[in-house]
């Protein structure tokens, strides 16, 4: 009788243990399910697919590691250089200054264009618009200040420029053809900003993200760039004369980049008081900004590309050269910005 009772007790104990075992195992597998559901919500698709596999208990370990997205957010160490390159630097904000004449068939009666045709004049005007539109579309160009003194050119431009027009601002000035006008405008209206005077048929291309305003200010830099050429709609400008190729450079420059800071001295203003299209004005400007302006004037056209469009070949035939040996500066092509 006694041994029967003992057997029954042992049997009941085993039964209870078995029930406890089953119950706890069930709870464990529930936990796994909860984890798996949680993983489904927060993992990218390829991770979800692996977590859908039956989850043996060991698989809990990988899901406990920080998820890729969490890792990114919590890293405080300096990032490896590869990652640095993908971080977006703010783009330099360039305030371009441009102008253009309105050429019409009337100009065929002037000495300047007497030997030309209306087709050439129209082609030239369309090059001006293309140059302006390309400048407006450049990612580093924040504003384009268009200088004019007669409203018919404004109407002409407004009727033809259709893209990125919010960047385009028209400014009335006394004489948009004088070189000094661009610098007067920059020093009056663009103090502390990156100013770029560029002829209307020369537009910015590659390299402009590298422009550093702090360097321009602290090192008092002025870039006076020599142009490049490339395939344009109507011709290949890739082989133009006076380009940035070191062998072809002989003193011709096109676009100016600088930060106006403080006043523009009367001596500098006087030296720039010429028509901008005369030959050698840029050589006088290089000399003047070096000697009177105390700028470090360089020509990093091998890293900052500006492109010239002049397929029409229409030129003012009355241009003359104004620089002398006493006031000429040169800045041969370089590849360094500082």
Ligand X SMILES: *[C@@H]1O[C@H](CO)[C@@H](O)[C@H](O)[C@H]1NC(C)=O
Which residues in this chain contact ligand X in the complex, by CB under 6 A? 137, 139, 149-150, 163-164, 175, 177, 239, 250-252, 280, 283, 323-325, 328
Q: Are 134 and 199 in contact (CB under 8 A)?
A: no
| Comparison of 177 and 290: residue with beta carbon closer to ligand X | 177
How far is residue 327's CA from residue 59's CA, in Å, rounded to a whole number?
79
Q: 3-class DSSP state for residue 167?
A: helix
> 233: closest CA among 299, 293, 309?
309
Residue 253, sorted as left (phi over 0), alpha (psi -120 to 50) or beta, turns out to be beta
What's the closest the beta carbon of residue 285 comes to ligand X, in angstroms? 11
Angstrom distance (rounded) from CA 38 to CA 46: 15
- Smaller CB separation from ligand X, 119 or 139: 139
User: In this chain, which residue has its C-beta nearest to ligand X?
Assistant: 251
Task: Provide, rounded to whole angstroms, the least separation between the CB of residue 278 and ligand X.
Answer: 11
Is 79 or 163 the residue whose CB approaches ligand X more closely?
Answer: 163
CB of 166 to ligand X, least distance (A): 9
- 48 or 277, CB closer to ligand X? 277
Tokens of 183: 């610098």
Beta carbon nearer to ligand X, 51 or 203: 203
Residue matched to tokens 């990988």: 62
Least distance to ligand X, CB of residue 284, Å: 8
In whole angstroms, the minimum distance from the beta carbon of 179 to ligand X comes to 12
Q: In terms of CB distance, is 117 or 149 closer to ligand X?
A: 149
E strands, the chain, are 94-98, 141-148, 168-172, 194-197, 202-204, 221-225, 255-258, 296-298, 306-308
Q: Which is nearer to ligand X, 125 or 224 (CB)?
A: 224
Shortest Cβ 175–ligand X spacing (Å): 5
Pick 6 or 163: Cβ nearer ligand X: 163
Contact by Cβ (8 Å): 182, 147: yes
User: Considering the complex, what minimum distance in angstroms separates the CB of residue 269 from ligand X?
Assistant: 17
**How many whole angstroms separate alpha carbon 80 and alpha carbon 82?**
6
Two structure tokens written together for 185: 């405008």
Residues 200, 98 contacting (CB under 8 angstroms): yes
Whole-angstrom Cα distance, residue 201 to residue 14?
96
What is the spatial distance between Cα 185 and Cα 36, in angstroms, rounded to a whole number? 66
Q: How far is Cα 242 from Cα 226, in angstroms, rounded to an integer?
A: 8
Residue 153, helix vs strand vs coil? helix
The three-state secondary structure class of 131 is helix
| Polymer length in residues for the chain | 338
**Residue closer to ligand X, measured from CB, 259 or 286:** 286
Nearest distance from C-beta of residue 160 to ligand X, angstroms: 15
């Amino acid at each position: 009788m006694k041994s029967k009772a003992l057997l029954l007790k042992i049997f009941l104990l085993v039964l209870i243990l078995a029930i406890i075992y089953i119950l706890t195992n069930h709870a464990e597998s529930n936990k796994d399910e909860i984890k798996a559901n949680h993983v489904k919500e927060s993992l990218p698709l390829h991770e979800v697919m692996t977590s859908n596999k039956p989850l043996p208990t060991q698989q809990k370990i990988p899901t406990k590691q920080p998820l890729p997205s969490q890792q990114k957010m919590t890293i405080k160490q300096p990032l490896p250089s590869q990652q640095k390159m993908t971080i977006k630097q703010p783009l330099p904000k360039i305030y371009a200054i441009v102008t253009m004449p309105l050429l019409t068939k009337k100009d065929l009666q002037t000495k300047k264009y007497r030997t030309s045709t209306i087709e050439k004049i129209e082609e030239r005007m369309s090059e001006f618009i293309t140059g302006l539109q390309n400048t407006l579309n450049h990612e580093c160009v924040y504003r384009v200040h268009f200088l004019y003194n007669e409203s018919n050119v404004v109407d002409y431009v407004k009727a033809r420029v259709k893209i990125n027009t919010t960047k385009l601002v028209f400014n009335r000035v006394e004489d948009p053809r004088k070189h000094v006008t661009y610098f007067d405008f920059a020093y009056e209206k663009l103090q502390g900003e990156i100013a770029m005077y560029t002829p209307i048929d020369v537009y910015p291309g590659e390299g402009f993200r590298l422009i550093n305003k702090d360097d321009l200010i602290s090192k008092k830099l002025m870039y006076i760039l020599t142009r490049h050429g490339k395939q344009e709609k109507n011709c290949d400008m890739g082989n133009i004369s006076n380009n940035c190729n070191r062998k072809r450079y002989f003193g011709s420059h096109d676009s100016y980049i600088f930060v106006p800071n403080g006043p523009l001295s009367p001596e500098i203003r006087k030296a720039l008081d010429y028509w901008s299209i005369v030959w050698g004005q840029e050589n006088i400007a290089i000399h003047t900004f070096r000697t009177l302006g105390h700028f470090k004037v360089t020509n990093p056209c091998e890293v900052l590309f500006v492109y010239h469009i002049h397929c029409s070949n229409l030129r003012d035939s009355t241009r003359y050269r104004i620089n002398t040996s006493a006031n000429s500066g040169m800045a041969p092509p370089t590849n360094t910005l500082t």
